[in-house]
């Protein structure tokens, strides 16, 4: 054991010798995960988050990319869903939306498109994971209604997606509580207008108009088909979902939530340079963050080495074998 004795010290020599190394070790334990998370989050950017409140201020100098200007979620609490809108369910049967809002059970409603390459699977994974953690049962305590806003998608595709997420959910006996719907453009428009969901068709990498720019959200709906609560993003707090479902079952309408939107788009047909600049700015910011944290770690390591060297040279330091020099 090596100890350092100094004059004018109010700490035990052993404690003082171990002070700087322990601080640096704790710093490294805190900084290394932070370094990785900042670097990965900044450099990998498949989707984009935008707070409209902040965006309103930023609009003075920078506008949203053109492709995203119609992509929005206007929270229309207490709005009535179009219960007469007709769809086709995952079994190929013609249904009306009102069949799932007959005054008995609340529901979780979400609008996606089943061939989405990025955001919709994340949203459905997040919803499925959240529901795995609650004790409420689909079909018994609430309904799950998933509507494709792409009118070209088929009931067969809806059935495939339902089977996929039922396997992930791990409770096959709840199949009657999950409803995957497809429908005409007019039926889709009626629902998306009611819930304030905006989206834009865009071309994919092959140039075909088969993808969409859109945001991510789910809605909790009362048994009578009125929008009671919004959850934005791709991760949903299980307890908050339970609380909202219970409130909605009694017809209670919640309050609006901060409009922090997660956008998903892959290709900008107008090659909007400003959208590319946003991505590049975030990537450059990530590189700067990684470099800054890396530099800080380097300085801390170097300081530790210098401090240890100075302690070795101080009078009263122990030599080999733990014996005092002298």
Beta bridge partners of 318: 324
| 3-60 pLDDT, tens digit each | 333 334 444 444 444 444 444 444 444 454 444 444 444 444 444 444 444 444 344 3
Side-chain-side CA neighbours of residue 185 (13 Å): 3
DSSP, collapsed to helix, strand or coil, labels residue 91 as: coil
Angle, helices 155-169/119-132, rounded to nearest 10 degrees: 40
Average pLDDT of the chain is 77
Token pair of 2, please?
């090596």
Q: Is 159 exposed, middle or buried (0-12, 13-18, 19+ CB in 10 A)?
A: middle
Q: Which strands make up the sheet holding 178-181, listed edge to edge?
A: 178-181, 143-148, 107-112, 217-221, 227-232
Task: Provide the whole-model pTM.
Answer: 0.64
Euclidean distance between CA atoms 214 and 123, whole angstroms: 12
| 262-293 pLDDT, tens digit each | 555 554 444 444 344 444 455 566 676 777 77
| 189-208 pLDDT, tens digit each | 999 999 999 999 988 888 88
Largest CA distance in the chain: 96
Euclidean distance between CA atoms 223 and 20, whole angstroms: 62
């Amino acid at each position: 054991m090596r100890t350092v004795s100094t004059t004018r010290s109010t700490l035990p020599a052993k404690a003082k010798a171990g002070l700087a190394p322990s601080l640096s070790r704790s710093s490294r334990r805190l900084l290394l995960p932070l370094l990785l998370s900042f670097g990965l989050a900044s450099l990998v950017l498949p989707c984009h988050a935008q707070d409209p409140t902040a965006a309103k201020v930023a609009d003075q100098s920078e506008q949203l990319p053109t492709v995203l200007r119609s992509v929005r979620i206007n929270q229309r609490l207490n709005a009535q869903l179009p219960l007469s809108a007709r769809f086709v369910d995952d079994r190929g049967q013609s249904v009306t939306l009102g069949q799932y809002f007959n005054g008995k059970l609340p529901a979780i409603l979400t609008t996606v498109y089943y061939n989405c390459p990025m955001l919709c699977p994340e949203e459905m994974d997040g919803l499925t994971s959240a529901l795995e953690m609650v004790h409420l049962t689909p079909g018994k305590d609430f309904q799950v209604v998933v509507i494709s806003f792409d009118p070209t998608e088929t009931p067969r595709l809806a059935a495939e997606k339902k089977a996929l997420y039922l396997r992930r959910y791990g409770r096959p006996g709840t199949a009657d509580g999950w409803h995957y719907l497809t429908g005409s453009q007019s039926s889709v428009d009626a629902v998306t207008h009611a819930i304030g969901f905006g989206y834009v068709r865009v071309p994919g990498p092959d140039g075909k108009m088969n993808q969409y720019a859109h945001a991510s959200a789910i809605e909790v709906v009362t048994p009578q088909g009125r929008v009671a609560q919004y959850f934005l993003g791709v991760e949903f707090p299980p307890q908050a979902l339970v609380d909202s479902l219970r409130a909605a079952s009694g017809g209670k309408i919640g309050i609006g939530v901060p409009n922090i939107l997660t956008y998903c788009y892959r290709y900008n047909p107008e090659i909007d340079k400003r959208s590319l600049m946003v991505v590049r700015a975030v990537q450059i910011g990530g590189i700067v963050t990684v470099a800054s944290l890396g530099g800080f770690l380097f300085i801390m390591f170097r300081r530790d080495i210098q401090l240890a060297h100075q302690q070795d040279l101080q009078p009263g330091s122990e030599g080999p074998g733990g014996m005092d020099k002298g």
